[in-house]
Structure 1
Amino acid sequence: MSTSEILAVLTEQHDAIAAGDAERAIATYAPEPVVYNLAPPLVQTVTDDDASGLAEWIASFTAPPKLAHHDPVVHVDGDLAFVHTLTSMSGDKGGEFTLWFRSTIGLRRVDGHWRVVHQHESVPFHMDGSFRAAVELEPGGQVR
């Protein structure tokens, strides 16, 4: 079934990051994906032959971070699919934390394998004029 295959790609990416293996995580992407993740710049460059940016990010933690999806929703149409979900990231960067953010992942079946062609992550921000990231939010509207 395509849904389980698609979710397996996302699990593989998370497992690779948790193992500190940037090259393995990069292998989940199709060639020249468009990645809008949490860190600057606005658009990330991800290439098969250079996992150094991801490796540096993973190394910036005391131990590799752990990511998990919350109730992902998968839509499939032929060789294209997208997933929308809330994602948690837990780690330690001078203190332990868990951050929840929104994720949308686009995938394409390439040579019989699902690969990420687009990934978009975002943290909501307070609309009170402060523009502070709303990092205290959790699924279901809870606030830490």
Structure 2
Amino acid sequence: MTYTAEREIVALCGKLEQAHHDKDADALMACFAPGAVIYDLAPPLGQRGHDRSEVQAWLDTWQGPISLTAAEVDLVVSGDLAYSSALNRIGGTKTDGANVDLWFRTTMCFRRTGSGWRILHGHSSVPFLMDGSDRAALDLRP
């Protein structure tokens, strides 16, 4: 792993956090490679690439800035590919007044392109209770 590659990927993740904070769909989408595989918290089960109008519609459900931070980050770089795993925390106030403070898991794969590092694959999830209720475990904290 090179220090430069690690620093560039950390900067890319910082841009992703800032794009959420600013509710900037274009900046958020610029962090991803075209056709990136996305397994997000919201349906569908998976998709290739982001639809800008869907991203903006989701960002518009937040009243103000969206806080997105990562903890327990593990980043591995090998040549032009890298992956990371982390616990992420998203917070803010929705337009209906609901306060959000949610921890979830994220794994991302990155590829170095001619225009820098981009997210090639993103997978976010929350565990679900194995007690037969199939309810998402949304109250977990690291």
What's the TM-score once normalised by structure 2's chain length?
0.91
User: Deviations 1:62-89 (Å, cap 9, x if unpaired)?
Assistant: 1242111002110011000001000000
User: Deviations 1:1-50 (Å, cap 9, x if unpaired)?
Assistant: 21111111111011011101100110011111000010001113425xx5
Q: Does 1:113 align with 2:122?
A: no
Tell me which residue corresponds to 1:142.
none
Residue 59 of structure 1: how far off its partner (Å): 0.2
Which 4+ residue blocks in structure 1 deviate beyond 6 angstroms? none
Question: What CA distance in whole angstroms lies between the structure 2 residues aligned with 1:105 and 1:73?
Answer: 10
Q: Does 1:97 align with 2:84?
A: no
Q: CA RMSD in A?
A: 1.2
Tell me which residue corresponds to 1:9.
12
Tell me which residue corresponds to 1:131.
134
Q: Give the gaps of 5 or more residues in structure 1.
A: 140-144
Tell me which residue corresponds to 2:31.
28
Residue 6 of structure 1 aligns to a residue whose secondary structure is helix
What's the TM-score once normalised by structure 1's chain length?
0.90
Identity %: 40
Q: Give the gaps of 5 or more residues in structure 2.
A: none
Question: What CA distance in whole angstroms lies between the structure 1 residues aligned with 2:82 and 2:71?
Answer: 18
Residue 116 of structure 1: how far off its partner (Å): 0.4
